[in-house]
């Protein structure tokens, strides 16, 4: 009898790709998903892209009865259900804490009554805040939030305590978290709750810190989702990608198929138990570069990025991953380069329609003093 895997949030972008990878390896998959309108649009309809072999339960992860039913006969759980968005989390605090933190608590309470063989929880690069830096002497430096007075002057780069320049370097899992938004706090709470309960009750548990994931099935009409989906939505509507600050922020962008493979490796490996992994790539680009690449591939090079020179509260300057732990313990090797992944994304975008809500997002943030 093949093992049955529950994915909370399994009808979403990353969850559905993990479901495909699991199915391809002979697992049975059940998805619990509320089919949120912000992600899936109105009507709560089963997504066309979700494999017919996935058993979909439509329901809220905060409802104990629903979660209990979803866990029946399940061998392992991926907990991906969450509301996602750094900016939005700063003014929909109650929703983010309720769905992300309380939803995790309900799931864990149910697991205590229905133990599983393994629990894997989706965390985020956002827990790091700023990434790791080196000072002028080559010493590792961790910083908190950037100085407000420097940001007001448009000095986007963080400085050391003596005002010297800092150089961003890959961020390992050992970096102390610095939680710059409610969303970042949520993800850290979700991660730690799962790891604590896993340790206390001898449930092998794995934390998966996703960096900037992109690929097919992203929610293009959600202005608080991944940056590449937001850029794509703008370009599909013949508008330039909008970038906060100066666009020279350095990031990783990891293809969703690589993420799915890493997630399944973490399920299958005993060496993953009790560990937290960066799930990313070692390819580093600026946000401006990736916006320009996408515009060119979509045949719209004239739509150069709109550089706002404004700061969004909760945003960080540089953060990109050290993936050596996943390479060592999971034999994880990203297979899709950024150029290859963007070409696939653009092929998919040709058949998509997106409602561009970026201006609404900017207005919401500006009116609340969250974009300055």
Residue 302 lies in a domain: yes
The percentage of residues in the chain with a pLDDT greater than 70, rounded to a whole number, is 98
170 touches 322 (CB < 8 A) = yes
The span from the CA of 229 to the CA of 325, in Å, is: 28
CA distance 109 to 105: 6
* Long-range Cβ contacts of 328-331 (<8 Å, 24+ apart): 329/269, 329/271, 329/272, 329/275, 329/277, 330/262, 330/265, 330/266, 330/269, 330/271, 330/272, 330/277, 331/265
User: Rounded distance, CA 313 to CA 369, Å?
Assistant: 8
At 313-370, the pLDDT tens digits run 878 999 999 999 999 999 999 999 999 999 999 999 998 887 877 777 777 778 887 6
The pLDDT, as a whole number, for residue 171 is: 98
Q: pLDDT of 74-128, one tens digit each?
A: 999 999 999 998 889 999 999 999 999 999 999 999 999 999 999 999 999 999 9
Measure CA 244 to chain center. 19
Alpha carbons within 13 angstroms on the beta-carbon side of residue 349 total 27
pLDDT at 372: 66
pLDDT band at 163 (very low <50, low <70, confident <90, very high): low
Question: What mean pLDDT, rounded, does the chain reach?
Answer: 93
- Is 33:63 a contact under the CB 8 Å cutoff? no
**Structural domain of 145:** 4-367
Q: Could you tell me what percent of the chain has a pLDDT over 90?
A: 78
Domain tally, the chain? 1
Residue 317 domain-assigned (yes or no): yes
Task: Indicate whether 372 belongs to any domain.
Answer: no
Q: CATH number for the domain including 313?
A: 3.40.50.720
């Amino acid at each position: 009898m093949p093992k049955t895997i529950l994915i909370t949030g399994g009808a979403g972008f990353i969850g559905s790709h993990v479901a495909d990878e699991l199915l391809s390896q002979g697992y049975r998959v059940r998805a619990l998903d509320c089919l949120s309108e912000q992600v899936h649009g109105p009507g709560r309809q089963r997504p066309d892209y979700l494999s017919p072999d996935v058993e979909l339960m439509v329901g809220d992860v905060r409802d104990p009865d629903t979660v209990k039913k979803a866990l029946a006969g399940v061998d392992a759980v991926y907990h991906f259900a969450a509301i996602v968005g750094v900016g939005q989390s700063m003014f929909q605090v109650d929703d983010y804490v309720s769905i992300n933190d309380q939803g995790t608590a309900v799931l864990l309470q149910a697991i205590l009554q229905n133990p599983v063989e393994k629990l894997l929880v989706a965390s985020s690069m956002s827990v790091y805040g700023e990434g790791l830096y080196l000072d002028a002497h080559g010493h590792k430096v961790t910083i908190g939030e950037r100085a407000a007075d420097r940001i007001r002057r448009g000095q986007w780069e963080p400085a050391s305590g003596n005002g010297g320049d800092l150089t961003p370097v890959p961020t390992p899992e050992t970096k102390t978290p610095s939680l710059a938004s409610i969303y970042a706090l949520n993800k850290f709470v979700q991660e730690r709750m799962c790891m604590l309960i896993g340790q206390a009750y001898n449930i092998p548990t794995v934390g998966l810190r996703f960096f900037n994931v992109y690929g097919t099935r992203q929610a293009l009409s959600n202005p608080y989702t991944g940056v590449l989906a937001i850029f794509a939505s703008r370009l599909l509507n013949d508008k330039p990608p909008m970038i906060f600050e100066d666009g020279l922020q350095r990031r990783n962008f990891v293809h969703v198929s690589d993420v799915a493979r890493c997630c399944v490796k973490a399920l299958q490996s005993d060496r993953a138990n009790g560990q937290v992994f960066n799930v990313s790539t070692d390819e580093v680009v600026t946000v401006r570069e990736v916006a320009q690449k996408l515009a060119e591939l979509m045949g719209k090079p004239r739509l150069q990025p709109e550089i706002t020179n404004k700061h969004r509260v909760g945003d960080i300057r540089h953060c990109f991953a050290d993936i050596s732990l996943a390479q060592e313990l999971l034999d994880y090797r990203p297979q899709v380069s950024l150029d290859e992944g963007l070409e696939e994304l653009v092929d998919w975008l040709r058949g998509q329609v997106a409602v561009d809500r970026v201006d609404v997002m900017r207005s919401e943030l500006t009116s609340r003093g969250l974009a300055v």
